[in-house]
A and B are shown apart, each in its own frame.
Chain A
């Protein structure tokens, strides 16, 4: 039985095509993936991401607990700041990637992936320590992502504080027309934007308020299809495709969220070894040099020999060509390396490129402003 978000009825009214995803019935598209994708790059888009999980950790030992359970350095977070991080198993494999927000003194708000929320909650409970209280708040919170260069203009009309005071990777509690919300300046698109958590039953109200304010911009409702192409153009990893419990953060290119010097954490021993020996494979971005669309599980070849596998692939609406991510044997990870992707019976030419694929996202500008 598929779960439904609080916005299910609204999606049907908007003419969405619904598909099963991570146990949820979710909109994959409304007017079309390309149109929705470009709306987010140019103006703004609204996504229902209520399927995402929410876990709260609070108490005097919350920091100590999260330092042990996640790879990034939580002690660097001031109240109001958040960070991207990973949770590893004992073998250094990625159980999930998530955002850790320092909501209040001794209180953290975590956002794991929909398909991993239960697993991460159970994993945390297994390692619980006195003084760190862990609550699975996934059933309480709906979540809407407002993404695109016009996001601030839209949201500013309905929140009672100056959004210039909420820089990239910051979060705070607030309200939207008396609905209590948590607003986080984060996203999965490469554009400026906000992720807005609201009580489950009041999420439709928040959606309608934002749609009303964005009318005429336009503000497009966007589905999982556009969410995927937008994130892939930024090379943001998708857990279950590009990273999972058999891949470690170093080979996945996520070494920047692993702080080996912060003290002990689960998976650290293995990562120290990986780092000392050097990874045997690496997740890289590639683009096709001919027509075609790479898809997950396609083989990657070099001079006829299999050297890797595609983990995510799509047609890039911004770049108008096939792009993808693949794990390649380490000797082939350099940008400019020519490869072939096996698409059905054909070998299609491709080359390793620098990522992100999409380099003009507004997220670059807000990040620069923050420093």
Chain B
């Protein structure tokens, strides 16, 4: 299993966020992609979608199951990774790189403080696996 990058923030639902200013790039963690197995479709949200933290942001379909991905932060979807519509397997191959899913404009920067650091996320993983 690859290391969870230190510069990212994490949720207990296995999303990650790369926060830069008022924008956050969002994806799912290596743990999540490994548990879902072969990802065959990423049902991306429409641009401009406004969403609250914890609501369903998008759905990832693996061969096995459909899985909700929750918004790690409140805000608006301003960019989606269209490359995933042709190559959803990028999420399996490179969950922290080419497998990113959306970029959000953050509404409330304070919410970011509630997210987990990579160390916290890894100790959380050790309690569930």
Which A residues are within 8 Å of any B CB, using their own CB?
28-29, 32-35, 225, 229, 291-293, 295, 314-315, 317, 322, 343-344, 346
Contacts and interface: CB of A to CB of B under 8 A. Distances in A.
Given A225-B64, A314-B63, A291 B41 contact: yes
14 contacts: A34-B63, A225-B37, A225-B64, A229-B63, A291-B85, A293-B41, A293-B61, A314-B63, A315-B63, A317-B38, A317-B63, A343-B43, A344-B43, A346-B43
Given A225-B64, A293-B66, A295-B66, A33 B59 contact: no
A315 B59 CA distance: 15
B40 interface: yes
Given A28-B64, A225-B64, A293 B40 contact: yes
A225 B38 CA distance: 11
A229 B40 CA distance: 13
Interface residues of B, number: 11
Contacts of B61: 292-293, 315
Nearest to A314: B63
Given A32-B38, A293-B61, A317-B38, 18 more contacts: A29-B37, A29-B64, A33-B37, A33-B38, A33-B63, A34-B38, A35-B38, A291-B41, A292-B41, A292-B43, A292-B61, A293-B40, A293-B66, A315-B41, A315-B61, A343-B43, A344-B59, A346-B43
A315 B41 CA distance: 9
Interface of B: 37-38, 40-41, 43, 59, 61, 63-64, 66, 85
A63 B22 CA distance: 76
A199 to B, nearest CB: 33
Nearest to B85: A291
Given A292-B61, A315-B61, A32 B37 contact: yes
Contacts of B43: 292, 343-344, 346
A291 B43 CA distance: 9
A343 B37 CA distance: 20
A317 B64 CA distance: 12
B63 A225 contact: yes
A315 B66 contact: no
Given A34-B63, A344-B59, A315 B37 contact: no
Nearest to B64: A225
Contacts of A344: 43, 59
A346 B38 CA distance: 23
Contacts of B63: 33-34, 225, 229, 314-315, 317
A35 B92 CA distance: 13
A32 to B, nearest CB: 5
Contacts of A322: 41
B77 to A, nearest CB: 16
Contacts of A315: 40-41, 61, 63
A33 B36 CA distance: 11
Contacts of A33: 37-38, 63-64
Contacts of B66: 293, 295
A176 B43 CA distance: 49
The 3 closest A-B CB pairs, nearest first, are A315-B40, A293-B61, A33-B63
Contacts of A292: 41, 43, 61
A343 B38 CA distance: 19
Contacts of A317: 38, 63
Nearest to B56: A344
A292 B58 CA distance: 13
A224 to B, nearest CB: 10
A318 B37 CA distance: 17
A295 B59 CA distance: 13
Nearest to B92: A32
A293 B38 CA distance: 13
A229 B63 CA distance: 8
Contacts of A346: 43
A291 B40 CA distance: 9
Contacts of B41: 291-293, 315, 322
Among B40, B59, B61: residue with most chain A CB under 10 A: B40
A307 to B, nearest CB: 23
B38 to A, nearest CB: 4
Nearest to B68: A344
